[in-house]
Amino acid sequence: MKRVLITGSTTGLGAGAARELLDLGHEVVLHARREARAASFGDLASQATGIVVGDLSSGDETRSVAEQANAIGGIDAVIHNAGVEARSQVLAVNVVAPYVLTALIDGPSRHVYLSSSMHSGGRADLTGIDWSGRHASRSYSDSKLYVTTLAAAVARLCTGVLSNSVDPGWVPTRMGGRGAPDDLRLGHLTQVWLATSDDPEARTSGGYWHHQRRADPAPDVHDERFQDQLLEELARYTGTPLIGIIERRRAGDRNALG
């Protein structure tokens, strides 16, 4: 049994992943942007191990989400499912928030990041970025290239962590629209599989997945120089050096066991 935090779990892929995990006997920590949205969980709330609340477009509230998750404790995996298309917030929600949560939530040995086939249209250019969201400096495609690159960087640099990204397809969510042609369940099944399965394929790291099949991401995703530049930019903006924090945490775990 795993305890899994799912960001953006009030509707769509996140809610589907939550129900699937509960049906499989796992524990779920739900996330809502606001207290009023948390009220929409209905029966999911009574089945959940906990609920964390915070607007991931806000740096302070994202840190609060990490603190709330740490207070619950025992998080085995995080599905970084929350995402937006609005240009003023795409970087804050789609990239900065997953980075900060990866750095600050204690314990997860698995991270699953929400990508998109549209990441292939993103630009591997980090000059002049406004990460705060006060100004629209990058597109949705750019944000998905960056978060897919983040997943690959975590896989490369963080020992003991399984890190993967998922293209759920064009699915009928609030963002995708009712007429989207792909299977919604296959989108969240891949998230759940990567977060919990003991299948050897699911226990690999650094993959870009679509419907439980590994696919080839844009070449920039595996450019180690670009990965390093992205991590440096995010560390500079957030004041949170992800790699150092994770490595110190892992060293502490090893010392405790030794």
Sign of CA dihedral 120, 124, 130, 136: negative
SS (H, E, C) the chain: CCEEEECCCCCHHHHHHHHHHHHCCCEEEEEECCHHHHHHHCHHHHHCCEEEECCCCCHHHHHHHHHHHHHHCCCCEEEECCCCCCCCCHHHHHHHHHHHHHHHCCCCCEEEEECCHHHHHCCCCCCCCCCCCCCCCCCHHHHHHHHHHHHHHHHHHCCCCEEEEECCCCCCCCCCCCCCCCCHHHHHHHHHHHHHCCCCCCCCCCCEEECCEEECCCHHHHCHHHHHHHHHHHHHHHCCCHHHHHHHHHHHHHHHHC
Q: What is the model's pLDDT at position 93?
A: 96
What confidence category does residue 258 fall into, taking pLDDT thresholds of 50, 70 and 90? very low
Instruction: Answer yes or no: 140 catalytic.
Output: yes
Q: What is the model's pLDDT at position 97?
A: 98
Whether the predicted pLDDT of 59 surpasses 60: yes
Q: What is the model's pLDDT at position 176?
A: 46
Kindly give, in sequence order, each residue whose CB lies less than 8 Å from that of residue 222, ignoring residues fewer than 6 positions away: 152
| Residue the block writes with tokens 């007429």 | 179
Q: What is the model's pLDDT at position 178?
A: 52
pTM of the model: 0.91
Whether the predicted pLDDT of 197 surpasses 70: yes
Q: What is the model's pLDDT at position 145?
A: 98
Q: What percent of the chain has pLDDT over 70?
A: 88
Exactly one of 99, 113, 140, 146 is catalytic; name it.
140
Which pLDDT tens digit goes with each residue over 4-50?
Answer: 999 999 988 899 999 999 999 999 999 999 998 888 888 898 999 99
Exactly one of 144, 146, 208, 237 is catalytic; name it.
144
Cα 141 to its chain centre, rounded Å, is: 16
Report the 10 Å Cβ neighbour count for 134: 10
Instruction: Answer yes or no: 144 catalytic.
Output: yes
Which pLDDT tens digit goes with each residue over 202-255?
Answer: 999 999 999 999 999 999 999 999 999 999 999 999 999 987 666 556 555 554
Work out the mean pLDDT of the chain and round it to a whole number.
Answer: 89
Q: What is the model's pLDDT at position 166?
A: 96
Q: What is the model's pLDDT at position 252?
A: 56
The two structure tokens encoding residue 161? 């962590």
Q: What is the model's pLDDT at position 180?
A: 46
What confidence category does residue 134 fall into, taking pLDDT thresholds of 50, 70 and 90? confident
Closest CA to 197 of 62, 9, 42, 25: 25
Residues 101 and 81 sit within 8 Å (Cβ to Cβ) = no
* Sheet architecture: strand order including 110-114: 50-53, 27-32, 3-6, 77-80, 110-114, 162-166, 208-210, 213-215
DSSP state of 172: S
Residue 57 vs residue 179, higher pLDDT: 57
* Domains, the chain, with CATH or none: 3-257 (3.40.50.720)
Closest CA to 98 of 190, 169, 8: 8
Which pLDDT tens digit goes with each residue over 86-96?
Answer: 778 999 999 99
